[in-house]
DNA sequence: TTGTAAGCGTTATCAA
DNA sequence: TTGATAACGCTTACAA
C-alpha cells in the first residue's frame, strides 16, 4: 500500500546509470541512445513513475497555478465565469486555486496572503463590493505577481482587466423601454461608489438624452442590494410623484425583490410597471415574476478572456513584463429580450 | 519593480550569520538568543521576507492543497458545498484546487491526473453521473492519496464518504403527500443506475408500505435529467391509467420542467397535481411554479464534514492511515415545506 | 547559542 | 552518448 512514489534517482540506481541520463531519457533529449531511452521509459512505466511536480515547481520557480478570487460562487455570474477560467487554464496546463471573498474586504486580503504564500503564478480577481483600500493589490504588483481583474474592478491606474461595458447595456435597456413608450423610467441602482453603478447611471442618462428627455435625478435610487434596501428603493419609486411606468434594476436579484414588492402593492408586473434587469440568471425565465428583458454580461467569456490575458502575461519574460501601461478588454453587454 | 523575493540566505548574508540561525529565529526556536532573533525578525520584516512555500512543500512532501472535483459549480448544491469545504480548508491552512467534471467521466479522469501531478494532499470528489469505471479512484488509493467522496459516491468497497440519506428524505416527501390524502403518487427518478435514484426508490417504497399501500412500479419513471427526458417522464405519469395526483421529482430542476409540462397540459399546479422535490434551490420559492416542498440536503454541511474528514485523514501518520475500513458520515435530509 | 551539512527531486551546465 | 555536480530555498540532525 501507498508505496512511496519512485523518483528518477530510484530508476537510475536500478538501471545503473546516472540520474541525469534518466532525466534526459524521460524528456526525449536527442543525445540519449535509443537503447537507454527505451530501458528508462519501460522501467518508468513499470514503476508508475510520475515526476514530482512539487520539486519541479520549486526548481522552476513556477507553480502553474493561478488564483481566482471572487465574491460568491453561488452567484450564477461567477460560477459561469470560473468555468471559462478553468477551461482556459486547463488548456494551458494551469490549475485553479479558489477563494471566495464573500464580499468581505478582510477575507479578500487574507485570501490574497494565502495565495501569495502558495506562490500562485498569477491572480484573477473580481473585487468584493466592500473593498475600498487597494494596498494589497499594489503589494502584489510590487512582488511581481501578475494581476488581472474581471467584472468588478478597482479604481486604480495601470491595471489589467476584463470588464463588461455596462453603459451600453444600460443604454439598450433604457432605450428598449423608451421605444415601448415609457417616459418615466426609474432606476434601482447599486451602491453609489460602485463603478458598476456609475456605468448604469451614465447609460441611463445617455439613453434619456438620446431621446431628448430631461434627466430627472430623483428617478434614480440607490440600494445596498440587501432585500430590505431593494424593497425600500422600490417603494420609493412606486410612490414617486411622477407616475413611474418602468423600472430598470441593478441585477436580477434586485429585480426579484422589486417585482415581489410591486406585486404586493397590487401592481401588475410588466403591465402597470415594466421591469428590465441585468445578469440574465439561468432561471430568470422560470421565475414567478420575471423581467421583460435582462442584460447579458457574458460571464463565461469574461472568465475566458481574463484567464487568457493572465496566461499571456505569465508567458512573458520578466523583462518584457515591465512594459508600462495595461491591458483592457471590454466585453459588450447585450440586452436579452424574453418572449412574453 | 518586481525585485525577486528575499530568501533566508539573503538575510543570513546581510546579518553575517548562518541560514540555519535565520530559519530558527524565524520559527521562534528556543535555542536562539533574543538578540539575534530580533535582528533577524526585523530584517525579515524590512525586506518583506516571505518563506517560499514551494520550497517548503517540496521539502516536507506536502502541498497543503486539497483538490475538489465536482460536476458543476453552477448547481447551487455544489457552490454551497464548496463554500463549506473552503471554510474548513482555510481554517486548517489548506487551500482548494478546483476541477469541474461537467459530468464527463473522461474529464474527471483527466482532472484527477492533473491534481495528482500537482501533488494535492488529498481529494474531495463528487463523482460525475457518467462515471462508471472506478480505476482512477483505485489508483489514487494505491498511490496513498486520501480520498473522500461526498454527495454522489461510487459503488466501491472501503471508501470514505459523506452523503445525504435520500431514503429518509424520500420517506418524508412521500409521507407528506400521503398524509395530504394522495394515493396515486408518481416518482420521476434519475437514471436507474445512480445510487441517488436507488435511494429515492427505496424511500418511496418504504413510505408506501408504511401506509399499507401496494407498490406500483409503473408509477416510477426514470429520466436522464435532460429537459426532454423530464418532459417525457412527466407526460408518462400524467397519462397514467391511474389518475396521478401527486409527483415527487428527482430534484428541483426536474420539478421545474415537470411543472412547466404539466401547466402546458392545463393542469393546475399543486391543485390538480401536487409536486414535491429535492435540493431546495435558493430561488425555488420565487419560481413561477414551485413545488409544495423540497428536500434539503445540507450541501454546506456536507462540504464541511467531507473536508473535516479529509483533513483528519491527512493529519495521520502514514502507518495509522493503513487502518482498514472506512469513514462514513450520513447527513440527514429534511423536508422543507413552503408556505402556500 | 550558533554553524555545518545533508537532503528533498528535478533540471541544467560542464566535462568526459 | 553519458556522468558528476551545482543549484533551487528550506528544515533539521549533528557538531562546535
The three-state (H, E, C) secondary structure of B142-192, written as one string: HCCCCEEEECCCCCCCCCEEEEEEHHHHHHHHHHHHHHCCCCCEEEEECCC
Residue A236 has pLDDT above 50, yes or no: yes
* pLDDT of res. A1: 41
Cα of B95 to nearest chain A Cα, Å = 7
pLDDT at A317 over 70: no
Task: Provide the CA B20 to C1' C3 distance, Å, integer.
Answer: 8
Nearest to A338 by CA among A301, A292, A272: A292
Q: Which among A58, A283, A322 has CB closest to B54?
A: A58
Yes or no, beta carbons of A73 and B76 under 8 Å apart? no
C-alpha cell at B111: 482532472
- Rounded Cα distance between B315 and B338, Å, is 42
What crossing angle do the helices spanning B19-26 and B34-47 adopt, rounded to 10°?
A: 90
User: How far is the C-alpha of A129 from the C-alpha of A115, rounded, in Å?
Assistant: 20
Which residues 61-100 of A interface with strand D at a CB distance below 7 A? 61
- Distance CA(B256)–CA(B290), nearest Å, equals 7
Spatial neighbors of A323 by CB under 8 A, at least 6 apart, are: none
**Helix or strand or coil: residue A92?**
coil
For residues A148 and B171, give the distance between their C-alpha atoms in angstroms, rounded to a whole number.
50
Q: How far is the CA of A331 from the C1' of C6 (A)?
A: 55
The reply to whether B143 has its C-beta less than 7 Å from any atom of strand D is no
**Cβ distance of A288 and B286 shorter than 8 Å:** yes
Please give, rounded to a whole number of angstroms, the shortest distance from the CA of B183 to a CA of chain A.
29
- Residue of least CA–C1' distance to D9: B55
Q: Which residues of B47-71 are buried (b: 16+ CB within 10 A; e: fewer)?
A: eebebbbbbbbbeeeebbbbbbbbb
Q: Determine the distance in angstroms separating the CA of A50 from the nearest CA of chain B, rounded to an integer.
A: 7
Residue in A closest to B78 by C-alpha: A74
Residue B4 to residues B10, B46, B50, B129, B200: CA-CA distances in angstroms? 11, 14, 11, 46, 57
Question: Tens digit of pLDDT for each residue in A13-39?
Answer: 999 999 999 999 999 999 888 889 999
* pLDDT, mean of residues A165-189: 96
- Predicted pLDDT at A2: 44
Rounded distance, CA A299 to CA A306, Å? 10
Residue B273: other Cβ atoms inside 10 A = 23
Q: Which helix (H) or strand (E) holds A147?
A: strand A147-150
**What is the per-residue pLDDT for A318?**
55
Name the average pLDDT for chain A. Answer: 93
pLDDT at A174: 98
Question: Which residues of chain B lie closer than 8 angstroms to A83, CB-CB?
Answer: 73-74, 100
Residues 6+ apart with CB under 8 A from B78: B70, B71, B72, B126, B151, B299
Residue B58 has a pLDDT of 92
**Nearest Cβ partner of B256 from A63, A68, A286?**
A286
Q: Which of B63, B73, B83 sits opposite A82 (nearest CB)?
A: B73
The separation, in Å, between residue B55 CA and nucleotide D3 C1' comes to 27
Tell me the chain A residues in contact with residue B63 when contact means C-beta distances shorter than 8 Å.
54
For chain B, the maximum distance between any two Cα atoms, rounded to a whole number of angstroms, is: 91
Residue B171's alpha-carbon distances to A138, B197, B207, B215, B333, in angstroms, are 56, 13, 5, 14, 10
User: Residue A75 is placed in which grid cell?
Assistant: 452567484
DSSP-derived 3-state class of residue B111: helix
Residues of chain B with pLDDT under 70: 1-3, 317-324
Q: How many CB atoms lie within 10 A of CB A263?
A: 14
Buried-state track B190-224, b at ≥16 Cβ within 10 A, e below 16: beeebebbbbbbebbbbbbeeeeeeeeeebbbbbe
Set of cell numbers at residue A132: 475600498
Cell, residue A147: 494581476
The x, y and z cell numbers of residue A224, run together, are 445596498
Examine the pLDDT at A182 and tell me if it is beyond 80: yes
Q: Do B95 and A116 touch (CB under 8 A)?
A: no
Rounded to an integer, what distance in angstroms lies between the CA atom of residue A133 and that of residue B80? Answer: 28
Smallest CA-to-CA distance from A169 within A187, A184, A146, A193 is with: A187
B57 CA to D13 C1' in angstroms comes to 20
Nearest nt to the CA of A20 via C1' is D3
pLDDT at residue A308 tops 90: yes
The residues near B323 (Cβ < 8 Å, ≥ 6 apart) are none
pLDDT tens, position by position, A134-165: 999 998 988 889 999 999 999 899 999 999 98
Measured between CA atoms, how close is B53 to chain A, in angstroms? 6
Q: Which of B54, B143, B303 to mutate to test the interface with A (most CBs of A within 10 A)?
A: B54
Mean pLDDT of A328-337: 94
pLDDT at A111: 96
Look at residue A69 and tell me whether its pLDDT is greater than 70.
yes
Q: Which of A95, A115, A283 sits opposite B283 (nearest CB)?
A: A283
Which residue of B98, B116, B251, B324 to mutate against A (max A Cβ within 10 Å)? B98
Q: Reduce the DSSP state of residue A124 to 3 states and report it.
A: strand
The three cell numbers of residue A27 are 524528456
**Residue A340 in 3-state DSSP?**
coil
Amino acid at each position: 500500500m501507498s508505496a512511496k512514489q519512485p523518483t528518477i534517482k530510484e530508476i537510475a540506481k536500478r538501471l545503473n546509470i546516472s540520474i541525469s541520463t534518466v532525466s534526459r531519457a524521460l524528456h526525449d533529449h536527442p543525445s540519449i541512445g535509443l537503447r537507454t531511452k527505451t530501458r528508462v521509459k519501460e522501467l518508468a512505466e513499470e514503476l508508475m513513475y510520475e515526476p514530482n511536480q512539487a520539486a519541479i515547481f520549486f526548481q522552476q520557480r513556477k507553480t502553474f497555478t493561478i488564483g481566482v478570487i471572487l465574491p460568491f460562487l453561488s452567484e450564477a455570474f461567477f460560477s459561469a465565469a470560473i468555468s471559462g477560467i478553468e477551461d482556459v487554464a486547463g488548456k494551458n496546463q494551469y490549475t485553479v486555486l479558489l477563494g471566495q471573498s464573500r464580499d468581505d474586504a478582510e477575507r479578500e486580503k487574507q485570501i490574497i496572503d494565502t495565495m501569495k504564500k502558495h506562490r500562485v503564478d498569477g491572480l484573477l480577481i473580481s473585487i468584493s463590493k466592500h473593498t475600498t483600500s487597494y494596498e494589497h493589490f499594489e503589494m502584489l504588483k510590487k512582488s511581481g505577481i501578475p494581476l488581472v481583474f474581471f467584472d468588478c474592478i478597482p479604481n486604480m491606474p495601470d491595471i489589467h482587466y476584463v470588464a463588461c461595458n455596462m453603459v451600453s447595456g444600460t443604454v439598450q435597456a433604457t432605450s428598449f423601454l423608451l421605444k415601448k413608450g415609457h417616459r418615466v423610467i426609474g432606476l434601482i441602482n447599486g451602491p453609489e461608489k460602485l463603478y458598476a453603478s456609475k456605468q448604469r447611471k451614465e447609460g441611463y442618462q445617455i439613453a434619456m438624452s438620446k431621446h431628448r428627455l430631461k434627466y430627472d435625478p430623483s428617478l434614480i435610487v440607490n440600494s445596498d442590494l440587501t432585500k430590505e434596501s431593494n424593497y425600500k428603493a422600490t417603494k420609493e419609486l412606486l410612490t414617486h410623484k411622477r407616475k413611474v411606468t418602468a423600472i430598470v434594476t441593478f441585477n436580477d436579484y434586485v429585480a426579484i425583490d422589486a417585482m415581489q414588492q410591486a406585486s404586493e402593492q397590487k401592481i401588475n408586473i410588466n403591465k402597470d410597471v415594466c421591469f428590465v434587469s441585468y445578469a440574465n440568471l439561468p432561471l430568470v425565465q422560470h421565475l414567478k415574476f420575471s423581467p421583460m428583458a435582462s442584460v447579458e454580461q457574458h460571464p463565461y467569456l469574461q472568465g475566458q478572456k481574463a484567464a487568457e490575458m493572465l496566461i499571456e502575461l505569465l508567458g512573458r519574460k520578466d523583462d518584457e513584463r515591465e512594459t508600462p501601461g495595461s491591458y483592457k478588454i471590454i466585453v459588450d453587454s447585450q440586452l436579452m429580450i424574453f418572449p412574453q
